Structure 1
Amino acid sequence: MDTVIIIPARYASTRYPAKPLAMLKGASGAGRSLLERSVIAGRRAVEEAGGGIGLYVATDDSRIADEAQRIGAEVIMTSETARNGTERVAEAVKNAGLAPQIVVNLQGDAPLTPPSFVTALIQHMRDNPATGIATPILRCDEDAVRNFIADRAAGRVGATTVVANRLGQALYFSKEVIPFTNGKGVVDGQVPVFHHVGLYAYRPAALAAYGQWEPGPLETLEGLEQLRFLENGHPVDVVEVSAPGAKFWELNNPSDVPLIEGYLKQMGWD
């Protein structure tokens, strides 16, 4: 396998303890754990890619490992010292003795991730062998921008936005809504805000380098692991994706549960 997808999952989330085990109701009202819905998203991506891609859950907690095994997912156990998903993915690759050309980090809080986002990212890495890390970005619709602004107005730390240069590389990621729009959803006839999708593809060398750097001040302030690459001068490619008719939102806070359940119902996902 030249590519593996790893879903990092931890129990002790600061904003939402036990988040991977949180139940989300689908279109029929049936409940599935966030972890199960994340694994389903990964399996859809493997299927769309035509197979030949490994899929694993990486965790340090036996309760999450038990849930992964219940739903038939392969588990790689990691230590409790991983400070974020990228560090956990790097440790999982090492612990399992994996040697892929591309490592995909499908974060375990994005169950609405369309499979096309994952396959677009993998294709970008295959088409650009010099790229060390890439991540998808999604142009927001007005509803998403309003949700972002509402989160910040309520003092909630929610979704991540991103600004990029003309070379297709990230300039900055933030939990604030960037660029500044003065509360407007549309500027000059276009929504100027991009949602950063919680998904990464790395070369093994980029993962190895990441583990040698200490978190910088921006990563620490924002709580965003990908800023460690930028703070160390490592470019991050952004891959613009779209999913007409689909809705995308991560589970960052308990208040996101009804929003995501509404989107699951709207899209007919059980």
Structure 2
Amino acid sequence: MHTAILIPARYESKRYPGKPLAELTGATGMAKTLIQRSWERARQVAGADHVVVATDDDRIAEHCRSFGADVAMTAPDCANGTERCAQAAVSLDPAPEVVVNFQGDALLTPPHVIDLLLQAMRADPDISVATPVVRCDATMLAAFEETRRQGRVGETSAVFDRQGRALYFSKEILPTRRTDAADLGTPVFQHMGIYAYRTEALTRYGDWPAGPLEMHEGLEQLRFLENGHRVQCCEVALGGAPVHELNNYDDKPRIEAVLRDLGIV
């Protein structure tokens, strides 16, 4: 199953302009950009045949080539990372059977998370889109709740059926937890913004217009659901590993603290 990992990266971000080129200091005091750290992490995935940065920005492209990354140039009007991956995938030779969208701000993603998605797709040819979810523990849920209290954009929750097929994704905390149902535990799953697509599904995505749910939530994966397309949620265990993403300026200190704690240079 020929697999390509694409890392979509754009310079013009409303929340964090120039984010891919933001520098993060590691355990030894060495500063590397977000995009370089994400590329280095993606290259640790054993099942990947090709790792490519997909961007529309010459500054990002030049920087990526300086540390040895392959780059695919895309149009500037891509609405999200999935559209950018769809454009970049057609330029790859050989054409991949599966494309992994490795979010450029998810530099702490453990490689085994992507391995699990690829295993699920090998085992079930009917899965055309797979994405990881993590059951929230008390610490993760508290962080999620604090993000919402502050009105910041951050974590995403996932709701799915007994077979793992996604029902909905939201920037709100779903499901709502009634006080009289506390004994049922905490059925909140945090979505990790990584996707594995079969190339056919990725190609179709670019032909669909964005629907109202995608536009309201700002979540690209909802386009698949709004068009009746299956998205498989794969529960992963992180063993306490942090999954912070660089979404806002004030996320940088806590990510740098994790880099130091994990000894990542």
TM normalised by structure 1 equals: 0.93
Are residue 70 (structure 1) and residue 46 (structure 2) matched? no
Q: Deviations over 1:74-101 (max 9, x none)?
A: 0011111211101000100113354111
- The structure-2 alpha-carbon separation of the partners of 1:268 and 1:187, relative to structure 1 and needing over 3 Å to count, comes to farther
2:30 corresponds to which residue?
30
Q: What's 2:188 paired with?
A: 193
- The alpha-carbon deviation at position 205 of structure 1 amounts to 1.1
1:217 to 203, 212, 220: 212
Percent of aligned positions with the same letter in both sequences? Answer: 50
1:154–1:267 CA distance, 2 compared to 1 (3 A): same
Unaligned runs of 5+ in 2: none
Alignment partner of 1:241 out of 229, 236, 240: 236
Following superposition, the deviation at residue 15 of structure 1 comes to 1.0
SS of residue in 1 equivalent to 2:100: strand
Aligned partner of residue 12 in structure 2, secondary structure:
coil
C-alpha separation in 1, matches of 2:204 and 2:10: 23
Answer yes or no: is the 8 Å Cα contact 1:78–1:95 preserved in 2: no
1:178 maps to which of 169, 174, 180: 174
Partner of 2:88: 92
Deviations 1:190-247 (A, max 9, x none): 4422111111011111111111110000100111000000011101001111121411
1:204 maps to 199
CA distance in 2, matches of 1:170, 1:105: 18
Q: Secondary structure at the match of 1:44?
A: coil
Residue 60 (structure 1) aligned with residue 56 (structure 2): yes
Q: RMSD value over aligned CA atoms? A: 1.7
Identify the match of residue 160 of structure 2 among 152, 157, 164. Answer: 164
Q: Calculate the TM-score normalised by the size of structure 2.
A: 0.95
2:129 to 130, 133, 152: 133
Distance in 2 between the 1:32 and 1:188 partners? Answer: 45
d(CA) in 2 for partners of 1:144, 1:32: 27
Residue matched to 1:263: 258
The answer on whether the counterparts of 1:159 and 1:252 sit within 8 Å (CA) in structure 2 is: no
Find the counterpart in structure 2 of residue 149 from structure 1: 145
Aligned residue for 1:218, secondary structure, equals helix
Q: Structure 1 residue 10: deviation in Å? A: 0.4
- Equivalent pairs counted in the alignment come to 264
More deviation, 28-37/234-243: 28-37
Deviates more, 1:82-91 or 1:174-183: 174-183
1:102 to 76, 98, 102: 98
* Cα 1:182/1:14, change in 2 over 3 Å: farther
Structure 1: gaps spanning 5 or more residues: none
Q: Is the 8 A contact 1:246 1:267 kept in 2?
A: no
How far apart are the structure 1 equivalents of 2:161 and 2:113?
20
My pick for the range that moved more, 102-111 or 243-252, is: 243-252
**Displacement of 1:182:** 6.2
Structure 1 moving runs of 4+ over 4 Å? none
- Distance in 1 of aligned mates of 2:156 and 2:27: 26
Superimposed CA distance per residue, residues 37-67 of structure 1 (whole angstroms, 9 cap, x where no aligned partner): 100110111xx33xx6111000000111012
Aligned pair partner of 2:119 in 92, 116, 123: 123
The change in CA–CA distance for 1:67 and 1:167 in structure 2 (over 3 A counts) is same
Secondary structure of the structure 2 residue equivalent to 1:255: helix
Shift of 1:27: 2.0
**Counterpart selection for 2:77 from 78, 81, 86:** 81
